[in-house]
A and B are shown apart, each in its own frame.
Chain A
């Protein structure tokens, strides 16, 4: 049994803590009217990139799918038709789907990808009303052919190994150096949210 004095002290400490907090500065950020800059390697919504010439980088190898700890990725390979080449080699992703509800945004898919096709962008605003709409397939994952040429996804401190130089030029909607605000959809989203400023 706690002593009476101890009980009183415990009560005192409890009430003092809550009271103290009431006067502290609140860390809340007034999103969406105020937006923070993401950490440069924030893991958000995926994107499938293209080469500068517009070809898909993804070769449908399924390595991301097997690397994924959440089993969120489905890839079914297909063969390039000679007159309709989607990717440089023989194989491309006939079906590529990520269930963003399953995804834990660990980035292992990005690590596994031999062609740097799948990358995680800083985009995170994916809310929707239907579960089905969280299954992103190529129509939403693949960057539009008219997207700009962005920086490589892999800005590791040591830089990019020289023999991977071909990685540096690629179509992407993300400019890591400038962060979220420079993204293709990000800019659009920001415009959409302008009307929402409340405070």
Chain B
């Protein structure tokens, strides 16, 4: 052969069938093309080969011994037999070793019914063990962390879990401790296993060694009714399976084939935040305010009252006196209906921006997740995607660790991505890292419009230089992009939400309807002033799951349905229109927002589009966005946040500035009302650098209050944490915690230390030696 270079594809024979696959393919993958089953435990397409379990033995002609299919690349002219006496014998011997110390646990094991060890035991195992001695006894039902239980007797040391923690999340906390019969899965540090992606190891584990606490003993795989849907917890839009049993959601599972969006992973917020729908505090009947109390009313009366309130406001002061807030948590169909109904009524005061996020459309450089993964430089601006779009962050980690991309941040304060991050402090730094880079991906949190505008013009510059740029907006509400694309923005002459709040203060807003939004907890104007404005509205309607801070101010509360209880579509941050399917029956008395709107339209005798029309509009492909992303005109009338983040400015009077960050388990809604996840909710913490802590003389576990420089706002009872990576003179707090709502603080604001209590007076256990 005189070919130049290695052949691009090789031909081989598997079980008598000739196949041609790209060079370098593993035999186990090549075997998938001929419809034969090679059993695997340790191999996983996303984790690569490890060659640990040996179950994948196959016979390759002209090789004297059986070979493992998962770690043998194909070669030209190879003849592979995946079945046959020799292979079966080999696998039987492997099974015997794997089962030597495996307990007879299947009846009490959560994996039973979907366990590879069970399946292959049936295929290759022998009925009785030849082991004369007692089986090794190892820890069972061990708490590995807040989400995972380990049964070490069942572990077959395939190391999928540790490799996931190493290769995929890069967190590297799980290890195999000790060797041989005494090996045990543990964290290297001995601390509990905490990760925002911990749930994935329970799916990867081919046996029942790692199981989820939330699913423990709840169901059996064959009991579950599985629905494929889209996760509605954040704007990434991961596909997921919801397993329902007896009207309860037993668990959620990732969709392994979902390479385009989730890459087959889920974060723990999406996976475990499923208990809220059944919380006893859920509202299950419309509530009407009577003086200081709420009375339960029927839906007919509720819709009548709602229509009457709207009619009064419209009649007395025209459409300018009516406003609507929400959409970021609605389905596309519901947004279409809402917008159409408001148009019919002439209402122009529409907005979805109930929190800090100002923009959701990534503009003309919008990109796909695959493009993000292929970028050479990833620039995160503002809050880190690890907290706002967790599974997107896994892709960043993948790009960095497997594709050699560089990850830099600008603004924001704690990247927390477990891959090498370079925080940039000035625009010049950004320009410097750009030199020689061809593909750039920019992820922005959409909060600081002024910063966004600067970023947008910088991007225009880069593109002009021939750099290919893709932009992403990872925000707060899961369907923010859908809301913006489908028209939940102020219409000509209409007021944005901040303007509506102004109008409310002045008594010009007569009626406001809020759908699935909690501005009192999230809006940057601060809880007190938002609440104050809302209380001045003569007729406030809130559609909610729970009695949130905002709902408590409403005159009429409408019990809504969760994303598990209705069907429709959402648009994720990459612009994909994704289906949401109903996974379980909604509690009686609740109504999907769309149904409420249809009832309202009927009551008001207003024309709204029919179901087909709504569906067509809700699923229409997004037009290529020509604006957005820092484009100030696009978000006309929106007050910018107060500062440019951590990059600008110097410490003020007290020498202490605040950094407000997000956490995937923060929020006042689904997570706050999900008791099964109480352990995962972040404490209201104040994180300081060691030097700052020493300067202020505070210690880990102390409780302190923070006051804004004006003294108007305060955060009380924050637990002190010390983080060596934190910048000096900055106190980092978490946004969106109902115990300490930080929404009136903006990044970079000066703050003053208030009262403090020493740790030992409170919780001695928290003081580290």
A78 touches B217 (CB 8 A): yes
Question: A48 on the interface (CB 8 Å rule)?
Answer: no
Question: A114 on the interface (CB 8 Å rule)?
Answer: yes
Question: A122 on the interface (CB 8 Å rule)?
Answer: no
| Chain A nearest CB, measured from B148 CB (Å) | 15
Question: B76 on the interface (CB 8 Å rule)?
Answer: no
B107 touches A63 (CB 8 A): yes
Stretch of A16-24, A54-62, A142-150 on the interface side: A54-62
Q: Which residues of B contact A63 (CB under 8 A)?
A: 107
Given contacts A59-B108, A63-B107, A90-B108, contact A77 B222 (CB under 8 A): no
| Chain B nearest CB, measured from A75 CB (Å) | 9
Q: Which residues of A contact B140 (CB under 8 A)?
A: 90
Q: Which residues of A contact B222 (CB under 8 A)?
A: 66
- Which of A62, A66, A74, A94 is the most central at the interface, judged by chain B CB atoms within 10 Å of its CB? A62
In the bound complex, what is the Cα–Cα distance between A77 and B246 (angstroms)?
Answer: 13
User: 1/0 per residue A83-94: CB within 8 Å of B?
Assistant: 000000111001
Q: Which residues of B567-602 are within 8 A (CB) of A?
A: none
Q: Which residues of A contact B246 (CB under 8 A)?
A: 74, 76
In the bound complex, what is the Cα–Cα distance between A77 and B108 (angstroms)?
Answer: 9
Question: B317 on the interface (CB 8 Å rule)?
Answer: no
Q: Which residues of A contact B281 (CB under 8 A)?
A: none
Known: A76-B246, A78-B217. 16 other contacts (CB 8 A): A60-B108, A60-B217, A61-B107, A61-B112, A62-B220, A62-B223, A63-B107, A65-B223, A74-B246, A76-B218, A77-B217, A77-B218, A79-B216, A79-B217, A91-B217, A115-B107
* Closest B residue to A163 using CB positions: B128
Q: Which residues of A contact B217 (CB under 8 A)?
A: 60, 77-79, 90-91, 94
Question: B131 on the interface (CB 8 Å rule)?
Answer: no
* Closest B residue to A62 using CB positions: B220
| Chain B nearest CB, measured from A174 CB (Å) | 23
The count of residues in chain B whose C-beta lies closer than 8 Å to any C-beta of chain A is: 14
* Closest A residue to B105 using CB positions: A89
Q: Which residues of A contact B107 (CB under 8 A)?
A: 59, 61, 63, 114-115
Given contacts A59-B107, A61-B107, contact A90 B220 (CB under 8 A): no
Given contacts A90-B140, A90-B141, contact A61 B218 (CB under 8 A): no
Number of chain A interface residues as a range:
10 to 19
In the bound complex, what is the Cα–Cα distance between A65 and B217 (angstroms)?
Answer: 14
Footprint of A on B, CB under 8 Å?
106-108, 112, 140-141, 216-220, 222-223, 246
Q: Which residues of B contact A89 (CB under 8 A)?
A: 108
Q: What are 25 residue pairs bridging A and B, where the CB atoms are less than 8 Å apart in the complex?
A: A59-B108, A60-B108, A60-B217, A61-B106, A61-B107, A61-B108, A61-B112, A62-B223, A65-B223, A66-B220, A66-B222, A74-B246, A76-B219, A76-B246, A77-B217, A77-B218, A79-B216, A79-B217, A90-B108, A90-B140, A90-B141, A91-B108, A91-B217, A94-B217, A114-B107
In the bound complex, what is the Cα–Cα distance between A65 and B223 (angstroms)?
Answer: 10
Q: Which residues of A62-110 are within 8 A (CB) of B?
A: 62-63, 65-66, 74, 76-79, 89-91, 94
| Chain A nearest CB, measured from B111 CB (Å) | 12
Main secondary structure of the interface of A (DSSP, over half): mixed
In the bound complex, what is the Cα–Cα distance between A60 and B219 (angstroms)?
Answer: 10
Total contacts A-B at CB 8 Å: 34
| Chain B nearest CB, measured from A192 CB (Å) | 37
In the bound complex, what is the Cα–Cα distance between A76 and B223 (angstroms)?
Answer: 10
Footprint of B on A, CB under 8 Å?
59-63, 65-66, 74, 76-79, 89-91, 94, 114-115
Q: Which residues of B contact A62 (CB under 8 A)?
A: 220, 223
In the bound complex, what is the Cα–Cα distance between A90 and B154 (angstroms)?
Answer: 14
* Closest B residue to A59 using CB positions: B108
Q: Which residues of A contact B220 (CB under 8 A)?
A: 62, 66
| Chain B nearest CB, measured from A168 CB (Å) | 19
Q: Which residues of A contact B223 (CB under 8 A)?
A: 62, 65
In the bound complex, what is the Cα–Cα distance between A89 and B107 (angstroms)?
Answer: 10
* Closest A residue to B245 using CB positions: A76
Q: Which residues of B contact A59 (CB under 8 A)?
A: 107-108
| Chain B nearest CB, measured from A30 CB (Å) | 45
| Chain B nearest CB, measured from A48 CB (Å) | 15
| Chain A nearest CB, measured from B247 CB (Å) | 12
* Closest A residue to B220 using CB positions: A62
* Closest A residue to B107 using CB positions: A61
Q: Which residues of B contact A65 (CB under 8 A)?
A: 223
Leading 7 A-B pairs by shortest Cβ distance: A77-B217, A61-B107, A91-B108, A114-B107, A62-B220, A91-B217, A89-B108
In the bound complex, what is the Cα–Cα distance between A76 and B246 (angstroms)?
Answer: 10
* Closest B residue to A66 using CB positions: B222
In the bound complex, what is the Cα–Cα distance between A63 and B222 (angstroms)?
Answer: 11
* Closest B residue to A74 using CB positions: B246
| Chain B nearest CB, measured from A76 CB (Å) | 7
* Closest A residue to B248 using CB positions: A76
In the bound complex, what is the Cα–Cα distance between A94 and B246 (angstroms)?
Answer: 14
In the bound complex, what is the Cα–Cα distance between A78 and B223 (angstroms)?
Answer: 16
In the bound complex, what is the Cα–Cα distance between A62 and B218 (angstroms)?
Answer: 10
In the bound complex, what is the Cα–Cα distance between A187 and B217 (angstroms)?
Answer: 38
In the bound complex, what is the Cα–Cα distance between A63 and B220 (angstroms)?
Answer: 9
- Which of B108, B219, B220, B246 is the most central at the interface, judged by chain A CB atoms within 10 Å of its CB? B108
* Closest B residue to A95 using CB positions: B246
In the bound complex, what is the Cα–Cα distance between A36 and B756 (angstroms)?
Answer: 82
In the bound complex, what is the Cα–Cα distance between A90 and B141 (angstroms)?
Answer: 8
In the bound complex, what is the Cα–Cα distance between A54 and B81 (angstroms)?
Answer: 54
Q: Which residues of A contact B218 (CB under 8 A)?
A: 76-77
In the bound complex, what is the Cα–Cα distance between A114 and B218 (angstroms)?
Answer: 19
Q: Which residues of B contact A61 (CB under 8 A)?
A: 106-108, 112
In the bound complex, what is the Cα–Cα distance between A94 and B108 (angstroms)?
Answer: 13
| Chain B nearest CB, measured from A97 CB (Å) | 11
| Chain B nearest CB, measured from A114 CB (Å) | 5
In the bound complex, what is the Cα–Cα distance between A90 and B112 (angstroms)?
Answer: 15
* Closest B residue to A113 using CB positions: B107
* Closest A residue to B222 using CB positions: A66
In the bound complex, what is the Cα–Cα distance between A60 and B108 (angstroms)?
Answer: 7
* Closest B residue to A114 using CB positions: B107
In the bound complex, what is the Cα–Cα distance between A65 and B107 (angstroms)?
Answer: 12
In the bound complex, what is the Cα–Cα distance between A62 and B217 (angstroms)?
Answer: 10
In the bound complex, what is the Cα–Cα distance between A79 and B512 (angstroms)?
Answer: 47
Q: Which residues of A contact B141 (CB under 8 A)?
A: 90
In the bound complex, what is the Cα–Cα distance between A154 and B216 (angstroms)?
Answer: 32
Q: Which residues of B contact A115 (CB under 8 A)?
A: 107
In the bound complex, what is the Cα–Cα distance between A63 and B108 (angstroms)?
Answer: 10
Q: Which residues of B contact A77 (CB under 8 A)?
A: 108, 217-218
In the bound complex, what is the Cα–Cα distance between A78 and B217 (angstroms)?
Answer: 6
In the bound complex, what is the Cα–Cα distance between A132 and B107 (angstroms)?
Answer: 29
In the bound complex, what is the Cα–Cα distance between A90 and B220 (angstroms)?
Answer: 16
| Chain B nearest CB, measured from A86 CB (Å) | 12
Q: Which residues of A contact B112 (CB under 8 A)?
A: 61
In the bound complex, what is the Cα–Cα distance between A89 and B108 (angstroms)?
Answer: 8
In the bound complex, what is the Cα–Cα distance between A115 and B104 (angstroms)?
Answer: 12
